[in-house]
Structure 1
Amino acid sequence: MAQSERTKMAAGEWYTCLDDDLEALRVIARDALFEHNSLPPGQRGNLGPSLMALLGSAGEGARIEAPFQCAYGFNVFLGDGAFLNAGCTILDTAPVHIGKRTLLGPNVQIYCAEHHKEATGRQAGLEIAKPVTIGNDAWIGGSAIILGGVSIAEGAIVGAGSVVTRDVPANTTVVGNPARPIKQR
């Protein structure tokens, strides 16, 4: 029996995003995001009810400001007190773990999906999913981009506008494109 595209995605294998079952999951996510992004802040609270139910997990006091976008939602895991500022986008084709008390500035983007390098593969919708892990007490500056397969360790700082293409050690500040260490505490 052939593996489903969702199973291949979860296993970190090449899969096609042009799959009806994956599209149905993205529709569920879009509906939850519409609710979260449309509710008045006083009614929404830290997370809209449908988004809260969709996420992989959300620790106590975790908050996502509107607007927010994600691909599936069920691959997003937030630690206690994690904060995502307005405009964040997470393409969560693989698990994205955001640690306790970690702060993401406005418009931070996390891209787990990597498209095929050959045009024919892209035409077929081929992607591979790579997880992202951000440790506790990290700070990701506004408009930073974090690519799939990256781990950002505890206490790290990513400067605004940086593009993170490789792992960031604990208590290290990185800046630039690609992000490079400038300071270790």
Structure 2
Amino acid sequence: MTEQERMLSGQLYRSGEETLCAARLRAKELCRRFNDTAPADAAAREDILRRLLGAMGESVWIEPTFRCDYGSQITIGSFFFANYDCIFLDVAPITIGSHVMLGPRVCLYTAGPPTVAEVRDLELEFGRPITIADSVWIGGSAVVCPGVSIGAGSVIAAGAVVTRDIPAGVIAAGNPCRVLRPLTDADRARWESAHREYQAQQSQ
């Protein structure tokens, strides 16, 4: 079994192996090109992202700067937005649904070191996948740790450190991140009313 196969299967692996180093170098170069594009050159950024990422839908917008380890383990749905300075460490799959929004400096970390120093000192690490379902909003500077899933429609507050799964339809915050409350009919009524007001103003 190769080091890449070990990495993708969630086993301990050596990230310094030649093939993995070459793959990371390719991703770094594509990220450099992406981050150096002119602000108005959306077409060039989309072209680079489609070469960098494993798969992405329509209307995917990532503000530079953006960094990732490999890119090939990242799948993004449609109508996705990520603000400035996001980092995705994709040694394991990162799967993101549609209508997901990330604030600035959101970090998705699938990589983890062994907790035992003697094993960690051998330069071994592992990866666990991250899954973010449709219509999730993650606030600025939040960190999502290896192996976490976030359910559809949930809101993660700015600065949260998400170390365990978050169910659908809740607001969660803190370090470690915990569910504060479910999203309710009162939330829906409030924001639908605000939307109707917005529509009325636009039609005037």
Identify the TM-score tier after normalising by the shorter chain: over 0.9
**Could you tell me how far 1:48 is from its partner in structure 2?**
4.5
In the other structure, the counterpart of 1:20 is 18
| Structure 2 residues not aligned, in runs of 5+ | 184-204
More helix per residue: 1 or 2?
A: 2
In the other structure, the counterpart of 1:165 is 163
**Could you tell me how far 1:149 is from its partner in structure 2?**
0.5
Instruction: Assess if the C-alpha contact under 8 Å between 2:157 and 2:171 holds in 1.
Output: yes
Deviates more, 1:122-131 or 1:32-41: 122-131
In the other structure, the counterpart of 1:139 is 137
**2-side partners of 1:79 and 1:131: how far apart?**
16
Q: Which has the higher contact order (CA 8 A, sep 6+)?
A: 1
**Could you tell me how far 1:46 is from its partner in structure 2?**
7.9
**2-side partners of 1:45 and 1:134: how far apart?**
26
Larger radius of gyration: 2
Any idea what the Cα deviations from partners look like across 1:72-125, whole Å, max 9, x if unmatched?
A: 000111110111111000000011011101000000001100111222322222
In the other structure, the counterpart of 1:70 is 68
Any idea what the Cα deviations from partners look like across 1:110-166, whole Å, max 9, x if unmatched?
A: 110011122232222211110000010000000000001000010010000000011
Alignment root-mean-square deviation, CA: 1.2
**Could you tell me how far 1:41 is from its partner in structure 2?**
2.0
Q: What SS does the aligned partner of 2:45 have?
A: coil
**Could you tell me how far 1:18 is from its partner in structure 2?**
1.5
In the other structure, the counterpart of 2:39 is 41
Q: What SS does the aligned partner of 1:168 have?
A: coil
In the other structure, the counterpart of 1:86 is 84
Q: What SS does the aligned partner of 2:171 have?
A: strand
